[in-house]
């Protein structure tokens, strides 16, 4: 084999190694997005299991707040449906509704001293608040994983490998503008 043939073979081997490296990097990012989603999913399932206990505890004291309790139950079902279908857009909307309902429920609980004094209610409120914080933290990590993935599948030369092997951009988990806005405490207590 001539020197030109050896040089061409070395260049081809280096290009193949570079392409494999790009491919493996894209695979790592894709699985990072999946892992981040699974971490959110764990907390969503835990919160899903705690909400009926909270609603039942509140029902014992809040006979006149059925509409609020029903909104929380309906929002819980919407979150569960979006989570099961891995519909990130629908999950963001459903989460906004659930968080608004929980905020209203916790605000209304202020009007029921017996409920606020109930150990079960306090425990559930703390547990759900802790889960909410965990979901917010994991949502941030998920969105970072999605961003890293999306940048790589669009930038050159990764885009060539991404198109060849059908790597796709992932969807960010975003909440509605209403959730990002400041809470109107007067409306909650009005």
- Rounded distance between C-alpha atoms, residue 67 and residue 186, angstroms: 19
- Rounded distance between C-alpha atoms, residue 50 and residue 22, angstroms: 43
* Residue 176 clears pLDDT 70, i.e. is over it: no
Joined together, the tokens standing for residue 160 give: 């060539």
The tens digit of pLDDT for each residue in 150-173 reads: 999 999 999 999 999 999 999 998
* Residue 2 clears pLDDT 80, i.e. is over it: yes
- Nearest CA among 37, 147, 35 for reference residue 88: 37
| pTM for the structure as a whole | 0.76
Helix axes 3-59, 88-109, angle to 10 degrees: 30
Joined together, the tokens standing for residue 103 give: 């905020």
CB 170 within 8 A of CB 89: no
CB 76 within 8 A of CB 98: yes
What domains, with CATH codes, occur in the chain? 16-189 (1.20.1440.20)
The tens digit of pLDDT for each residue in 95-152 reads: 888 988 888 888 888 888 888 888 888 889 899 989 989 999 999 999 999 999 999 9
Q: Pinpoint the alpha helices (H) of the chain.
A: 3-59, 66-84, 88-109, 113-117, 119-154, 158-164, 177-180, 185-189
The tens digit of pLDDT for each residue in 4-61 reads: 889 999 999 999 999 999 999 999 999 999 999 999 999 999 999 988 888 888 888 7
* % of the chain residues with pLDDT over 70: 92
> CB neighbours (10 Å) of residue 21?
11
């Amino acid at each position: 084999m001539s020197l030109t043939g050896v040089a061409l073979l070395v260049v081809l081997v280096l290009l193949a190694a570079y392409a494999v490296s790009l491919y493996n990097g894209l695979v790592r990012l894709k699985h990072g997005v999946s892992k981040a989603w699974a971490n959110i999913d764990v907390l969503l399932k835990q919160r899903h299991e705690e909400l009926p206990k909270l609603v039942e505890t509140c029902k014992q004291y809040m006979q006149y707040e059925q509409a609020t309790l029903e909104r929380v139950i309906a929002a819980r079902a919407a979150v569960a449906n979006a989570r099961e279908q891995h519909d990130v857009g629908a999950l963001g909307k459903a989460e906004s509704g659930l968080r608004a309902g929980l905020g209203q429920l916790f605000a209304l609980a202020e009007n029921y001293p017996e409920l606020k004094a109930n150990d079960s209610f306090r425990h559930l409120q703390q547990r759900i608040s802790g889960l909410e914080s965990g979901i917010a933290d994991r949502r941030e990590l998920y969105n970072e994983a999605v961003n890293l993935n999306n940048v790589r599948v669009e930038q050159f030369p990764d885009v060539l490998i991404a198109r060849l092997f059908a790597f796709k951009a992932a969807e960010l988990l975003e909440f509605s503008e209403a959730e990002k806005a400041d809470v109107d405490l007067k409306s909650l207590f009005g």
